[in-house]
Amino acid sequence: AKVAAGMRMLRAVGRAIYSAGGVLDLTGFGGTPIRWHSGHSTLRTHHRGESTLRKSNGEPRPSRATRMFCQTDRDFGRANWDFGRARGTARLSICDSDNEKDDADPAIDGDCGVFPDGATPEGRILRVVRSVFSDLDVPRHLQKPFNPILGETARHELQLVGGCKVKSVIEQVSHHPPITAFHCDGDGDWVIRGYFQPRPRLLGVHAVEVEMLGRRMWEVGPRDGREIYESDYCGFVWKFLPRMKTKIAPQTWFVECKQHGLRAEVTHGSKRSIKGRVFNVLKPSETLFAIDGAYDSCVFVKEPSTTRVHVLYDAEEAAAAEEVEADVAFELPGDEKSSERVWGSVIDAMNRGAWDEAQAGKRRVEETERKERRRRKDAGEGPWRPRFFEDVDGDWVLRRLGAEPRGAPPSPDQ
């Protein structure tokens, strides 16, 4: 029954994509079988989506948010900055994944040397690249999140062992096209913010490729000397034939710091392999560092001018680190568009195995959203204004009047 429902959905998606010219806005498509949903909205995917990568013991690795925030805090948290130094010369500690050479690993040739210092712009852009690697993952097959309604919000707090509390606010700022904005604050030591827009397209009848449009920014360093590193996203492919699987789409992503004129580009190949390099945008033909490896195991960085090779990212080591004390998804009092209130009854029915009830609840949410969209159009209302974010020259930025990330409320046993 699940396969038959899936084939009916694929045929419906194919017809809709054909009529839309090859690219489908899935916010207007309600044909996904309820059993193919992951039990949370797109706004919660980064924090709640189950990883498809596995630890050595077979257990799922931590969520993408946990991995990325922990890695960012290891590299850019307050404990790793020497505030006694003059502005612009702060040093970052050498991190756990800056391992010594493994003589048994043929991928590492020559002397290992010391990982590029965080006091240099080159060392810092490599650390942001490492943060992106920690975030790389694909959704589980047939685990599609719910399409968020316009204005839907989510709040989250991740408390790390070292004391850092990462507070996040997320909002669906547009429905057509579907754009989600987010702002994640690591106790003021660093910020990751940006927006994303999934754009699916059908690849024949055997797969769906989901391109991820948008930008994200890492704001790192002391407050009086913040640096901004910009990056784009990796899309993925859901394959249905000849067998079902999910993989990162072959593509190139970047990290760039315009303040220092540095750029990193990384290209995905087959079997989770990657190759990339860091270069100065004024001298694009000269490679400062070469990047090579596999994003689900080890990634190495090499200085072309020497024989030194360093471990940039060790996925197994990062997954094994126990660095989270509390992981809380919550809503603000009176927020009628919080993700929990919008989808709570649907998720509850799914957890009870009441699939017909869950499907009916999902349809009610989607139909209510369509009616509200028609009402705004018939009333001649102007562009909808998000509550927490504003569009500043194409960049979605958090408003500072009551919208800043807040901590989770205390638990009942506290």
CA torsion angle 90 183 96 295 (round to 10): -130
Indicate if the pLDDT at residue 82 is higher than 60.
Answer: no
Q: pLDDT grade, residue 50 (50/70/90)?
A: confident
Q: Assign 63 to helix, strand or coil.
A: coil
Indicate if the pLDDT at residue 93 is higher than 70.
Answer: no
**Overall average pLDDT of the 60-68 stretch:** 89
Q: How many CA atoms lie within 13 A of 357 on its CB side?
A: 11
Residues 262 and 256: beta-carbon distance below 8 Å: yes
pLDDT of residue 245: 82
Q: pLDDT grade, residue 171 (50/70/90)?
A: very high
5 φ, ψ (degrees, to nearest 5): -65, -40
Max mean pLDDT range (58-67, 77-86, 142-151, 170-179): 170-179
pLDDT of residue 176: 87
Percent of the chain at pLDDT > 70 equals 80
Q: Residue 95: name the closest of 162, 34, 176 by CA.
A: 162
Helix (H) / strand (E) element for 198: namely: strand 190-203
pLDDT of residue 278: 97
Indicate if the pLDDT at residue 100 is higher than 60.
Answer: no
More confident residue, 231 or 26: 231
Q: What's the mean per-residue pLDDT of the chain?
A: 83
Token readout for 14 is: 């194919």
Q: How many CA atoms lie within 13 A of 225 on its CB side?
A: 16
- On the question of a cis peptide bond just before residue 242, with omega within 30 degrees of 0, the verdict is yes
What is the full DSSP assignment across 310-376? EEEEEHHHHHH---EEEEEEE--TT-TTBHHHHHHHHHHHHHTT-HHHHHHHHHHHHHHHHHHHHHH
Chain segment 345-372, per-residue pLDDT in tens: 999 999 999 999 999 999 999 999 999 9
Q: How buried is residue 382: exposed, middle or buried, by Cβ count under 10 Å (0-12/13-18/19+)? A: exposed
pLDDT of residue 133: 95
pLDDT of residue 229: 97
Token readout for 74 is: 């290891």
What is the Cα–Cα distance from 80 to 105, expressed in whole angstroms?
A: 30
What is the Cα–Cα distance from 201 to 167, expressed in whole angstroms?
A: 33
Q: What's the pTM value of the predicted model, to 2 decimals?
A: 0.85
pLDDT of residue 119: 76
Percent of the chain at pLDDT > 90 equals 51
pLDDT of residue 10: 59
Cα end-to-end distance, the chain, whole Å: 46
pLDDT of residue 13: 58
Contacts 24+ apart (CB under 8 A), 332-335: 332/153, 332/155, 332/406, 335/153
pLDDT of residue 333: 84
Indicate if the pLDDT at residue 71 is higher than 50.
Answer: yes
- Least confident range from 117-126, 159-168, 239-248, 251-260: namely 239-248
**Overall average pLDDT of the 253-262 stretch:** 97
Indicate if the pLDDT at residue 103 is higher than 50.
Answer: no
pLDDT of residue 31: 62
**Overall average pLDDT of the 43-61 stretch:** 85
Q: Residue 92: name the closest of 213, 206, 220 by CA.
A: 220
Indicate if the pLDDT at residue 22 is higher than 60.
Answer: no
pLDDT of residue 101: 41
Where do we find the tokens 């080890």?
298
Q: Assign 33 to helix, strand or coil.
A: coil
